[in-house]
Amino acid sequence: MQNLIFPIIATIAAWVLGALFTKMLIPFLEKKQFRQFVREEGPQSHLSKTGTPSMGGLAIINAAAISAIVVTAVEGSLDIRVVGVIVLMYLFSLIGFIDDYEKAIKKNNAGISPKQKIVMQFGFSLAFAVFAAFYSYAAFGMIGGTEVWIPFIDKYIDFGILYIPFEVFVLVAFSNSVNLTDGLDGLASGVTALVSIFMIIAGTTFCYTGEPVIFGAVAGGCLGFLIFNKNPAKIFMGDTGSMALGGVLAAGAIMMKLEFLLAIAGLVYVIEALSVIIQVTYFKKTKKRIFKMAPIHHHFELCGMGERKVVAMFWAATLVFCLLAILVMNI
């Protein structure tokens, strides 16, 4: 296992910066009228959240980027791989920012169209997948290119021509899954902090340097933001943050070839996305709903669970999934 000192330093630095940036951002967003507009078809208890400043993800990603760049520079691991992951984070954040801007300033509650989102996500993901095919590596730098580590059998499998579409799918899927998870105060920020901390452990175990620092910075940024995002939230990350977080988690895992391990640790994201897919598919065929509302965190709310209890349950589930991922990693 590589030295944990630099990832820990990155986590602490981003934690402080994330809290500072978020505190500074709240009055700025209020002044500029960048506020949340809650969907009328959502849980009625959420209508009181209308007007809460959104786009708080700007604090997370900037805290994470600054911390990651400075610490990797000191560590000596600042290279094209680190820069590529950070650029991807900002590109996905741009998609979310455009969507948030449409909602907040132009009062278009639907934001940009799903087609526009997917086209931009696909374009950025395709570019990064090609980049990863040339610059990702694993196992002490001895394996690179289009190989991916497969849990349970502990082998690297060459995906060949399927590598690019596979990585595009991973990036788009995680970006949208984290976006769907961001529906309750502190839910996405808390889950992402836990998953990022696990990825530090995974990265150092597999002897990486730059990527664990990035994950440490992401964890710290989320924790700093969570100080103001916990219930009752004073600020939301918006698509600006959730899209970026999904993108950076996937991008970091891709560079380390640990995509399947990320899926295990981030199983909450997968469940959230699947709940929407199942709900929509079943409703189209039967005109009936399996869940009271999707994503599934709203189902638990409408079953009578308080928002804080639902968030705590999802945090606990994430911790269990991260522990499961550690077991899988050591099989």
Report the share of the chain in percent with pLDDT over 90: 80
- Residues facing 156 on adjacent strands: 149
In terms of pLDDT, which residue wins out, 107 or 153? 153
CA geometry: angle 194, 57, 301, nearest 5 deg: 60
Instruction: Please compute the mean of the pLDDT values over residues 134-150 and round it to a whole number.
Output: 77
Indicate whether 43 pLDDT > 70: no
Reported as a pLDDT band with limits 50, 70 and 90, residue 46 is low
| Helix runs in the chain, H state only | 5-31, 57-75, 80-104, 114-135, 163-181, 187-205, 210-229, 238-256, 259-265, 267-286, 296-302, 307-329
Report d(CA 104, CA 100) in Å as an integer: 6
Q: What pLDDT was estimated at residue 109?
A: 62
Burial of 18 (0-12, 13-18, 19+ CB in 10 A): buried
Specify the pLDDT at position 33: 72
User: If you average pLDDT over residues 116-120, what whole number do you get?
Assistant: 94
State the DSSP string of 111-165: -S-HHHHHHHHHHHHHHHHHHHHHH-EETTTTEETTEEEETTTTEEEE-GGGHHH
Is the pTM value of this prediction over 0.85?
yes
pLDDT in tens, 279-319: 999 999 998 999 999 999 999 999 999 999 999 999 999 99
pLDDT digits (tens, 9 = 90+) for 177-212: 999 999 999 999 999 999 999 999 999 998 899 999
Cβ atoms of 248 and 214 within 8 Å: the answer is yes
Confidence tier at 79 by pLDDT (50, 70, 90): very high
What's the pLDDT score for residue 114?
A: 87
Q: What is the pLDDT of residue 112?
A: 81
Longest dimension (CA), the chain: 58
Alpha carbons within 13 angstroms on the beta-carbon side of residue 92 total: 35
Cα–Cα distance measured from residue 187 to residue 165, given in angstroms and rounded to the nearest whole number:
30
Terminal-residue alpha carbon distance, the chain: 16
pLDDT at 331 over 80: no
What are the residue boundaries of the structural domains of the chain, listed by start? 5-329
Given a cut of 60, is residue 20 above it in pLDDT? yes
The residue among 144 and 329 whose pLDDT is bigger is 329
